[in-house]
Each structure stands twice: as structure tokens, then as C-alpha cells.
Amino acid sequence: MYEAVQKCTHCGANLTLDDLRKPNCTYCGTVYPHHAQAAQHAAVAGQVMNQMMAQQAQIQAHWQGAYGAGPLPPAPFGGAPGGQFGAAPGGPYADPQRIAAAHMQHVAGVASTIKLVVILVTVGVFLLVGVIVAVALLRI
């Protein structure tokens, strides 16, 4: 027989460690306070997880909108069945080729912008040097 470690707060029965592992008193049915508190913590953790999943869905929708794909509904926790690595089919993490193509398109746009800026700066420097040389030659 196990040694009693605590008494039930409702009926006063001696409770062993095995009794305390159960969610309620085996004698009167009262829910133990630590189990009730654990249920409250689980509910709060569930709410926090749902908020985090909603934020992740907003981030993914923003990412997809930035790269020309329409937003998808958020996948359930753990991903939708059939998606690669548990990701939602059609989502940004489900198709590596689509991610690479979108990245390359973005890089090409940035490269053309940089090229245009370099050309404009080079032409500007040549014009400025030409004006300085022309002014120097006219003073001579």
C-alpha cells in the first residue's frame, strides 16, 4: 500500500501519489486544483497558438501577394495532408521551384535597377569632368 501524501480538500480522504495523478478524487469526484489549473493553462496555450498561426497565415499571405501569387487559406496546425514536408499545397514552403523562380525574378529587378543607377552616375561623372575641363580650357 502506498503512503498518503495529501488529503482531499473536499472530503478529507488520504490521497496517494497514484490518486493525485488522476484528474479527480476517487472518493468524492472533486477535480483536483492542479488539474483544473492545468486545463486553464492548456486553454490559454491554445489561444496563443491560434494567434500565432493567424499571424503566420498573414505573413504567408503577404509573401504570396508580394510575389504575384494569390493568398491561400491558412493550413491547419501541422500542415495540410499531401503537402511537401507538411506544408499547405500551393503555399510558399510547398514548392521550392516556385520560391526559386520568384527569388530570381526579384533579383533580376534589383539588378536592372542597380545597372541603371551605375549608368546614370557614370554619365553624370563624365559630364561633370567635361564641364570642369571646358571651364579650365576657356580660362587659358
Q: What is the pLDDT of residue 81?
A: 44
Three-class SS of residue 15?
strand
Q: What is the pLDDT of residue 42?
A: 83
Element (H, E) at 6: strand 6-7
- Residues 89, 105: one domain? no
Q: What is the pLDDT of residue 59?
A: 80
CA atoms of 79 and 95, how far apart (whole Å)? 14
Domain count, the chain: 3
Residue showing cell 569632368? 129
Length of the chain, in residues: 140
**Amino acid residing at 101:** A
Q: DSSP 3-state helix, strand, coil percentages of the chain (rounded to 5)?
A: 60, 5, 35
pTM: 0.34
- Residues 52, 86: one domain? yes
- Residues 126, 110: one domain? yes
Burial class (CB in 10 A: 0-12, 13-18, 19+), 70: exposed
Cα Rg of the chain, angstroms: 34
Q: What is the pLDDT of residue 134?
A: 93
- Residues 73, 101: one domain? no
- Residues 71, 51: one domain? yes
- Residues 101, 140: one domain? yes
Residue showing cell 490521497? 15
- Residues 54, 76: one domain? yes
Per-run averaged pLDDT (10 residues), the chain, 140 residues: 73 82 83 76 87 84 66 50 49 69 89 96 96 90
What domain range is 61 assigned to?
40-94
- Residues 6, 19: one domain? yes
Q: What is the pLDDT of residue 9?
A: 81
- Residues 101, 88: one domain? no
Name the residue among 15, 14, 32, 36 with its Cα closest to residue 24: 32
CA atoms of 101 and 107, how far apart (whole Å)? 10
- Residues 5, 24: one domain? yes
Q: What is the pLDDT of residue 125?
A: 97
- Residues 116, 71: one domain? no
